[in-house]
């Protein structure tokens, strides 16, 4: 049901945020094919997605920056604003570790992302400054608490997905991941994202030990969506892999054309007219 403000106007942002929350159901996972620009977001939406998620890596690469908090808040927020305006679906934003050194700076990022229309954020606990692979738990909890307070102050039930990079960074297994998950949930997170954990035994253990929707990262070789659903996963993300595949086509086409002088890498391309029509909305 739409929520009305004191002026009587329907607050669609609030409604979209509530709807997005409702999509996180263990055993009936929300599948997110991550986008990095308006065109990819519209393609995903047209394929029948229930929501759109950005990929920080894809966004950064498309704007000429490396992944890992190098892009900066303004450029990241501008992209979120464009995607929100370009699709009729809830949009959740990957904001890396928050584009800020302090909890207050992360809160400023969240305020800007919410103002841009996002209904969710991913906030990771990885470090990108050459120090320890992960932030200290207390530090990350302070950042997540600031995220929660900023969203609540804005009046939007933002879905805060706490990304735990224990498996990706080789910084701990199930026990460390679960301990961090409990701390992050207590700090204000709504769900937990554990990239790098896809084998059924590990996923089963995480689902059983974490009292919140579990998000996993998939790609070639990972269990199929129906199997992950049976394990109790609530959210499945493709992350940067779709952008990586798209850029691989560009590289193959460039190398083939500049080398052999042929164009076979372009076979199966998205039809020009269909893509152009999709951009017309």
In the chain, where the domains are located: 20-240
3-state secondary structure of 110: helix
- pLDDT the model gives residue 231: 98
Task: Identify how many contiguous H helices and E strands the chain contains and give both numbers.
Answer: 12, 8
Q: Are 225 and 29 in contact (CB under 8 A)?
A: yes
The pTM (predicted TM-score) of the whole model is: 0.94
Q: How far apart are CA 151 and CA 159, in angstroms?
A: 9
Least Cα distance to 79 among 18, 115, 36, 40 occurs for: 36
- pLDDT for 131 equals 83
**What is the predicted pLDDT for the residue at 11?**
61
Instruction: Indicate the length of the chain as a whole number.
Output: 281
Residue 21, number of CB atoms within 10 A of its CB: 17
Q: Could you give the strand order of the β-sheet that contains 191-193, starting from the edge strand earlier in sequence?
A: 30-32, 235-237, 214-217, 191-193, 159-163, 120-124, 91-94, 52-53
pLDDT at 281: 74
Q: What is the pLDDT of residue 108?
A: 98
Q: What angle do CA 119, 126, 64 make, to 5 degrees?
A: 70
Q: What's the pLDDT score for residue 2?
A: 45
Helices 137-154 & 174-187, crossing angle to 10 degrees? 40
What is the separation, in whole angstroms, between the first and last Cα of the chain? 26
Task: Give how far Cα 175 sits from Cα of 127, 144, 232, Å.
Answer: 20, 21, 19
Neighbour-count burial for 174-191, b at 16+ CB within 10 Å, e otherwise? beebbebbbbbbebbbbb
Task: Report CA-CA distances (Å) from 191 to 23, 121, 264.
Answer: 12, 10, 43
pLDDT (tens, 9 = 90+) of the chain, 281 residues, equals 344 433 333 369 999 999 999 999 999 999 999 999 999 999 999 999 999 999 999 999 999 999 999 999 999 999 999 999 999 999 999 999 999 999 999 999 999 999 999 999 999 999 988 889 999 999 999 999 999 999 999 999 999 999 999 999 999 999 999 999 999 999 999 999 999 999 999 999 999 999 999 999 999 999 999 999 999 999 999 999 999 999 999 999 999 999 999 999 999 999 999 999 999 97
Q: In CATH, which of 3.20.20.60, 3.30.70.920, 3.50.50.60, 3.60.15.10 is domain 20-240?
A: 3.20.20.60
**40: which 2 tokens?**
């990819």
What pLDDT, on the 0 to 100 scale, is given for residue 3? 41
90 DSSP assignment: -
């Amino acid at each position: 049901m739409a929520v009305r403000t004191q002026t009587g106007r329907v607050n669609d942002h609030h409604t979209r945020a509530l709807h997005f929350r409702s999509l996180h159901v263990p055993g009936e996972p929300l599948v997110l094919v991550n986008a990095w620009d308006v065109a990819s977001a519209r393609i995903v939406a047209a394929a029948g997605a229930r929501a759109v998620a950005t990929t920080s890596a894809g966004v950064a690469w498309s704007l000429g920056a490396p992944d890992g908090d190098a892009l900066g808040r303004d450029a990241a927020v501008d992209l979120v604003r464009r995607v929100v305006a370009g699709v009729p679906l809830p949009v959740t934003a990957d904001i890396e570790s928050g584009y800020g050194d302090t909890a207050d700076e992360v809160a400023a990022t969240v305020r800007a992302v919410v103002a841009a229309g996002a209904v969710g954020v991913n906030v990771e606990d990885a470090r990108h400054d050459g120090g320890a692979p992960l932030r200290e738990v207390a530090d990350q909890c302070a950042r997540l608490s600031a995220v929660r307070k900023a969203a609540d102050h804005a009046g939007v039930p933002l879905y805060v997905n706490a990304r735990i990079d224990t498996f990706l960074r080789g910084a701990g297994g199930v026990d460390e991941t679960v301990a961090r998950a409990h701390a992050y949930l207590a700090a204000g997170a709504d769900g937990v994202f554990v990239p790098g954990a896809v084998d059924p035994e590990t996923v089963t253990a995480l689902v059983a030990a974490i009292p919140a929707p579990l998000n996993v990262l998939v790609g070639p070789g990972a269990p199929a969506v129906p199997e992950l659903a049976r394990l109790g996963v609530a959210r499945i993300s493709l992350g940067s892999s779709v952008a990586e595949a798209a850029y691989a086509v560009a590289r193959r086409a460039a190398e083939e054309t500049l080398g052999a002088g042929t164009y076979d890498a372009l076979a199966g391309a998205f039809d020009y007219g269909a893509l152009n029509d999709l951009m017309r909305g």
